[in-house]
Amino acid sequence: QKEVEQNSGPLSVPEGAIASLNCTYSDRGSQSFFWYRQYSGKSPELIMSIYSNGDKEDGRFTAQLNKASQYVSLLIRDSQPSDSATYLCAVNKEETGANNLFFGTGTRLTVIP
Amino acid sequence: EAGVAQSPRYKIIEKRQSVAFWCNPISGHATLYWYQQILGQGPKLLIQFQNNGVVDDSQLPKDRFSAERLKGVDSTLKIQPAKLEDSAVYLCASSLEWGTEESYEQYFGPGTRLTVT
């Protein structure tokens, strides 16, 4: 079983719609959860972090965490063409004092004008 | 605030040759990470430094990969000899020294795209 699983997509939504990206993780001991955005040919950019159950909002982005279900999601409201990118879910797993981050394979999002 | 710096941005070498990558983390970031990202996959951690000490290198192929972080700031990652399967983007990231939630947040440099022919 992979540490972090995401639907690879592609996910296509019309401009102005809500894009919903999902991620599940295998280790119940995971404490920290992150969403990175990666444009084609660029490096990952941190857009959201979440550490406790519930929702966390930042502008058009909302991260949702459910530790009981081992599930993390990212909602993008009022999607824009500039949101078209691959979204990587990452989960922190502390092991022997190391801050290890495990990434999913990413979900490619296309926002259609 | 300047971000993570990496060089070179691109490198093409033949198999069995050696190559080195350089990284300068965000000022004040004690923890430095090297990742390998193969096309279509998420980044995979190779090695993690806290200041100038190695915290985790369990996924580093030590027969051909080596890394150092002298003086606790800049770091170099070396591959010798390179294989075709080493073609990937090598990403450097940094974070604050552990102790707060913010210290778990890792910030990436632009990466070095390596092609081994």
Q: For residue A51, how many C-alpha atoms fall within 13 Å in the half-sphere facing its CB?
A: 6
Is residue B110 pLDDT above 70, yes or no? yes
User: In whole angstroms, how far apart are CA A110 and each of A6, A24, A39, A80?
Assistant: 16, 21, 11, 9
Per-residue pLDDT of chain A (113 residues; tens, 9 = 90+): 678 999 878 999 999 999 999 999 998 888 899 999 999 999 999 999 999 999 999 999 999 999 999 999 999 999 999 999 999 999 987 665 667 889 999 999 999 99
To test the contact with chain A by mutation, choose from B26, B35, B38, B108 the residue with the greatest count of A C-beta atoms within 10 A, namely B108
Contacts of B104 (CB under 8 A, 6+ apart): A31, A32, A34, A49, A92, A99, B95, B98
Q: What is the pLDDT of residue A37?
A: 98
Interface test with B, best of A5, A101, A102, A107 (most B CBs within 10 A): A101
Cα–Cα distance between A23 and A42 in angstroms, integer? 22
In the block, residue with structure tokens 């806290």 = B50
Question: To the nearest whole angstrom, how far is the Cα of B80 from the nearest Cα of chain A?
Answer: 24
Residue in this structure with the two tokens 């401009």, named with its chain if needed = A15
How crowded is residue A19: how many other Cβ atoms within 10 Å of its Cβ?
Answer: 23
